[in-house]
Chain A
Amino acid sequence: MARRVAVVGTGQTPYKTRRRDVSVPELVHEAAGAALSDAQLTIRDIDAVVFGTAPEAFEGVNSPDKWAADAVGALNKPFMRIHTGGATGGSAAQAGVHHIASGLFDVVMVVAMQRVGQTPEAQRILGLIWDPIFAAGFSLNLITTVAMATSINMQKTGLTEEHMARISMKDHLNALNNPYAHVRKAVTVEDVLKSFPLVKPIKLLDCCPSSDGACAIIFASETRARKITPKPAWVIGMGGSTSVTTPGEENDEATLGRLAAKNAYRMAGIDRPRRQIDVVEPYDPFSITEIGYYESLGFCDSPAEALRMVERGFGEMTGEVPFSPSGGVLCSNPIGATALVRVAEAAMQVTGNAGAHQVPDAKVALAMGAGGSPAPGSATFMTAMVLSSQSR
Chain B
Amino acid sequence: MGSIEVSARWEVPFSHDIGETSSKFLIELRDHARIMGTKCPECGRVFLPPRAFCERCFIPLKDHWVELEPRGTLEAFTIVTDAYAPAGLPRPPYVICLVKLGGSDTAIPQTLQGLDLSDPRRVARELKVGAPVKAVFKENREGRITDFHIELMNV
A residues near B (Cβ < 8 Å) are 18-23, 25-26, 29, 33, 36, 42-43, 57, 59-61, 70-71, 73, 75, 115, 117-120, 124-125, 128, 132-133, 136
Q: How far is the CA of A75 from the CA of B54 in the complex (A)?
A: 11
Which residue in chain A gives the minimum CB-CB distance to B21?
A: A26
Q: A33 touches which one: B18, B21, B58 (CB < 8 A)?
A: B58
Given contacts A26-B21, A132-B8, A119 and B58 within 8 Å (CB-CB): no
Is A120 touching B13 in the complex (CB atoms < 8 A)?
yes
Is B17 touching A42 in the complex (CB atoms < 8 A)?
no
Interface pairs (22), CB distance under 8 Å: A18-B17, A21-B19, A21-B20, A22-B17, A22-B52, A23-B19, A25-B52, A26-B52, A26-B53, A29-B52, A33-B53, A33-B60, A42-B58, A60-B16, A61-B16, A71-B53, A73-B58, A119-B13, A119-B15, A120-B13, A120-B15, A133-B6
Q: How many residues in B have their beta carbons less than 8 Å from beta carbons of A?
A: 20
Q: How far is the CA of A60 from the CA of B53 in the complex (A)?
A: 23
Hey, which chain B residues are within 8 Å of A57, CB to CB? 10, 12
Hey, which chain A residues are within 8 Å of B21, CB to CB? 23, 26
Q: How far is the CA of A120 from the CA of B22 in the complex (A)?
A: 22
* Interface membership of chain B positions 12-49, coded 1 if the CB is closer than 8 angstroms to chain A and 0 otherwise: 11111111111000000000000000000000000000
For the complex formed, measure the closest distance between the CB of A273 and the CB atoms of chain B, giving whole angstroms: 40
Q: B55 touches which one: A19, A42, A70, A119 (CB < 8 A)?
A: A70
Hey, which chain A residues are within 8 Å of B52, CB to CB? 22-23, 25-26, 29
Which residue in chain A gives the minimum CB-CB distance to B14?
A: A60
Tell me whether B56 is interfacial, beta carbon within 8 Å.
Answer: yes
For the complex formed, measure the closest distance between the CB of B4 and the CB atoms of chain A, giving whole angstroms: 8
Is B53 touching A118 in the complex (CB atoms < 8 A)?
no
Hey, which chain B residues are within 8 Å of A75, CB to CB? 55-56
Hey, which chain A residues are within 8 Å of B58, CB to CB? 33, 36, 42-43, 73
Which residue in chain B gives the minimum CB-CB distance to A131?
A: B6
For the complex formed, measure the closest distance between the CB of A139 and the CB atoms of chain B, giving whole angstroms: 14
For the complex formed, measure the closest distance between the CB of B86 and the CB atoms of chain A, giving whole angstroms: 13
For the complex formed, measure the closest distance between the CB of A304 and the CB atoms of chain B, giving whole angstroms: 44
For the complex formed, measure the closest distance between the CB of B19 and the CB atoms of chain A, giving whole angstroms: 4
Q: How far is the CA of A145 from the CA of B107 in the complex (A)?
A: 49
Hey, which chain A residues are within 8 Å of B53, CB to CB? 26, 29, 33, 71
For the complex formed, measure the closest distance between the CB of A77 and the CB atoms of chain B, giving whole angstroms: 11
Is B17 touching A125 in the complex (CB atoms < 8 A)?
no
Hey, which chain A residues are within 8 Å of B13, CB to CB? 119-120
Is A19 touching B17 in the complex (CB atoms < 8 A)?
yes
Is B12 touching A22 in the complex (CB atoms < 8 A)?
no
Q: How far is the CA of A21 from the CA of B62 in the complex (A)?
A: 12
Given contacts A70-B55, A71-B53, A26 and B19 within 8 Å (CB-CB): yes
Hey, which chain A residues are within 8 Å of B8, CB to CB? 132, 136
Given contacts A20-B17, A26-B52, A29-B52, A125 and B12 within 8 Å (CB-CB): yes
Q: How far is the CA of A43 from the CA of B43 in the complex (A)?
A: 15
Q: How far is the CA of A59 from the CA of B12 in the complex (A)?
A: 11
Q: How far is the CA of A54 from the CA of B58 in the complex (A)?
A: 26
Which residue in chain A gives the minimum CB-CB distance to B58?
A: A43
Q: How far is the CA of A124 from the CA of B58 in the complex (A)?
A: 36
Is B22 touching A118 in the complex (CB atoms < 8 A)?
no
Q: How far is the CA of A91 from the CA of B53 in the complex (A)?
A: 28
Is A119 touching B6 in the complex (CB atoms < 8 A)?
no
Is A60 touching B55 in the complex (CB atoms < 8 A)?
no
Which residue in chain A gives the minimum CB-CB distance to B12?
A: A119
Instruction: For the A-B complex with A23-B16, A42-B58, A128-B10 known, give 8 more contacts whose Cβ atoms are closer than 8 Å.
Output: A18-B17, A19-B17, A21-B19, A22-B19, A61-B16, A75-B55, A124-B12, A125-B12
For the complex formed, measure the closest distance between the CB of B68 and the CB atoms of chain A, giving whole angstroms: 20
Is A23 touching B12 in the complex (CB atoms < 8 A)?
no
Hey, which chain B residues are within 8 Å of A117, CB to CB? 17
